[in-house]
């Protein structure tokens, strides 16, 4: 992933990309914005890793501690994985208009935080469990039979509160149930997502981040819609850009695996708390999503060659979108040492996961709200609930 995205950036620095001009001389200014946002969000500069768990804490409410009270260490880890995996997979862009009102607090949330709070409420209610006596789990049986209408109701979605990609989200959960059923070696019997904890505990050594991601890609590849044929299954978040030349079956292919990497980042904390420390987190890339990508467009690092890109919505396979996402991944790696320098931190204190959290995602959102009343991305994206 990282290598191919860096190749796209190198082509852009030579001025040879079809859709974007790359202005890396603007990176120091963007680094200053990200550093300022990081200081405001984390004045002590003790930045936690970027993961779904931060969204479960939105509004200063510790939802997880209340839910997990009374669970022993091992079951707490299983339940944490059961909770976070569906939440991550439901985290594709919600659109500008959708809102979720939390029953316990009466607060209203939108976008990624709203999806997190909504999925937390679903999980807490037992929506993803087939056993009423054990509601805090996400098992194959319940996921396979998750009705679109029931999921829409749980999201409070409807004609007056449209959530983009509703059918795609439900399809993804049902496919997840099938994937769990097909892999008892990973998910146990009866299969539940939390079975991954027992699988990783059984290994001779804790996994590296690359090994964690490889396990997830292997286990979850059947759930993604077929796009570019690969061994009879859709490869997921992998797209085509004509500027990449290989002369083999991977010619032009650019992998991102945004949701699967987001899941990998989000499994690190519960595994670590269960004494399974995932090592070499630098092996994961930055996330190719519209907040990080918007940071570079709104910050002036990327300039579309054709301003018509701002009109209409674009599918994820459109080459300008593939180019934008690849540049985003590579530019995040370029940005990281600049932000560390401004904050006086080394990579150990501000790894890439900290940069994203501190960080680029929040700075991208801030610039979006300054540039557009909706706070949406600079380039509008079609969402089927399985990519962004």
- 3 state SS for 254-274: EECCHHHHHHHHHHHHHHHHC
Domain end call among 202, 222, 257 = 202
Domains: count for the chain: 2
Q: Examine the domain organization and report whether 245 and 374 are in the same domain.
A: yes
In 98-108, which positions are buried (b, 16+ CB within 10 angstroms) versus exposed (e)? bebebeeeeee
Q: Examine the domain organization and report whether 15 and 58 are in the same domain.
A: no
105 near 97, Cβ under 8 Å? no
Domain end call among 202, 219, 241 = 202
Helix (H) and strand (E) counts for the chain? Answer: 17, 6
Rounded CA separation 36/30 (Å):
10
Determine, yes or no, domain membership for 167.
yes
Q: Examine the domain organization and report whether 132 and 154 are in the same domain.
A: yes
Specify the pLDDT at position 229.
55
Specify the pLDDT at position 385.
74
Q: Examine the domain organization and report whether 62 and 37 are in the same domain.
A: no
Q: Examine the domain organization and report whether 30 and 96 are in the same domain.
A: no
Q: What would the two tokens of residue 332 be? A: 């995040």
Q: Examine the domain organization and report whether 36 and 157 are in the same domain.
A: no
Q: Examine the domain organization and report whether 283 and 385 are in the same domain.
A: yes
Determine, yes or no, domain membership for 289.
yes
Q: Examine the domain organization and report whether 185 and 309 are in the same domain.
A: no
Determine, yes or no, domain membership for 224.
no
190 near 140, Cβ under 8 Å? yes
Specify the pLDDT at position 302.
99
Domain end call among 157, 185, 202 = 202
DSSP 277: P
Determine, yes or no, domain membership for 216.
no
Q: Could you tell me the residue range of the domain that residue 250 belongs to?
A: 1-49+230-265+273-388
Determine, yes or no, domain membership for 128.
yes
Q: Examine the domain organization and report whether 63 and 196 are in the same domain.
A: yes
Rounded CA separation 274/71 (Å):
12
Q: Examine the domain organization and report whether 56 and 44 are in the same domain.
A: no
Determine, yes or no, domain membership for 169.
yes
Specify the pLDDT at position 246.
83
Torsion over CA: 57, 58, 59, 63 (sign):
negative
Q: Examine the domain organization and report whether 369 and 234 are in the same domain.
A: yes
Determine, yes or no, domain membership for 215.
no
Q: Examine the domain organization and report whether 241 and 98 are in the same domain.
A: no
Determine, yes or no, domain membership for 139.
yes
Strand partners, 21: 303
Torsion over CA: 386, 125, 276, 113 (sign):
positive
Torsion over CA: 171, 174, 178, 180 (sign):
positive
pTM for this model (two decimals):
0.94
Average confidence (pLDDT) per 10 residues, the chain, 388 residues:
97 98 99 99 97 94 94 98 97 90 95 96 98 97 97 97 93 96 97 98 97 96 76 70 88 93 97 97 96 98 97 93 98 99 98 97 97 94 79
């Amino acid at each position: 992933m990282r290598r191919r995205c860096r190749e796209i950036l190198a082509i852009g620095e030579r001025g040879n990309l079809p859709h974007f001009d790359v202005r890396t001389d603007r990176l120091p200014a963007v680094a200053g914005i990200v550093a300022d946002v990081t200081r405001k969000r984390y004045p002590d500069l003790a930045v936690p890793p970027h993961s779904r768990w931060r969204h479960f804490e939105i509004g200063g409410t510790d939802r997880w501690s209340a839910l997990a009270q009374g669970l022993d260490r091992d079951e707490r880890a299983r339940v944490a994985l059961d909770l976070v995996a569906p939440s991550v997979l439901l985290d594709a862009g919600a659109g500008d208009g959708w809102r979720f009102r939390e029953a316990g607090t009466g607060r209203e949330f939108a976008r990624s935080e709203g999806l997190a709070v909504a999925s937390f409420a679903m999980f807490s209610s037992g929506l993803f469990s087939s056993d009423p006596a054990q509601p805090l789990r996400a098992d194959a049986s319940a996921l396979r039979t998750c009705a679109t209408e029931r999921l829409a109701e749980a999201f409070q979605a409807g004609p007056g509160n449209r959530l983009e990609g509703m059918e795609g989200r439900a399809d993804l959960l049902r496919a997840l149930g099938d994937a769990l059923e097909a892999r008892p070696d990973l998910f146990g019997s009866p299969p539940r997502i939390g079975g991954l904890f027992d699988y990783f505990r059984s290994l001779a050594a804790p996994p590296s981040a690359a090994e964690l991601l490889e396990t997830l890609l292997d286990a979850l590849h059947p759930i993604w819609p077929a796009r570019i044929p690969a061994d009879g299954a859709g490869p997921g978040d992998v797209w085509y850009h004509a500027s990449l030349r290989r002369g083999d079956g991977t010619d032009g292919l650019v992998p991102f695996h945004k949701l699967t990497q987001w899941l990998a980042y989000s499994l690190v904390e519960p595994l670590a708390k269960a004494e399974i420390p995932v090592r070499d987190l630098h092996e994961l890339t930055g996330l190719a999503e519209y907040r990080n990508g918007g940071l570079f467009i709104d910050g002036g690092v990327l300039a579309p060659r054709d301003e018509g890109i701002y009109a209409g919505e674009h599918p994820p396979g459109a080459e300008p979108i593939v180019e934008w996402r690849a540049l985003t991944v590579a530019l995040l790696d370029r940005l990281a040492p600049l932000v560390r320098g401004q904050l006086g931190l080394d990579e150990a204190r501000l790894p890439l996961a900290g940069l994203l959290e501190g960080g680029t995602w929040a700075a991208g959102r801030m610039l979006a709200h300054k540039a557009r009343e909706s706070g949406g991305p600079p380039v509008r994206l079609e969402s089927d609930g399985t990519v962004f």
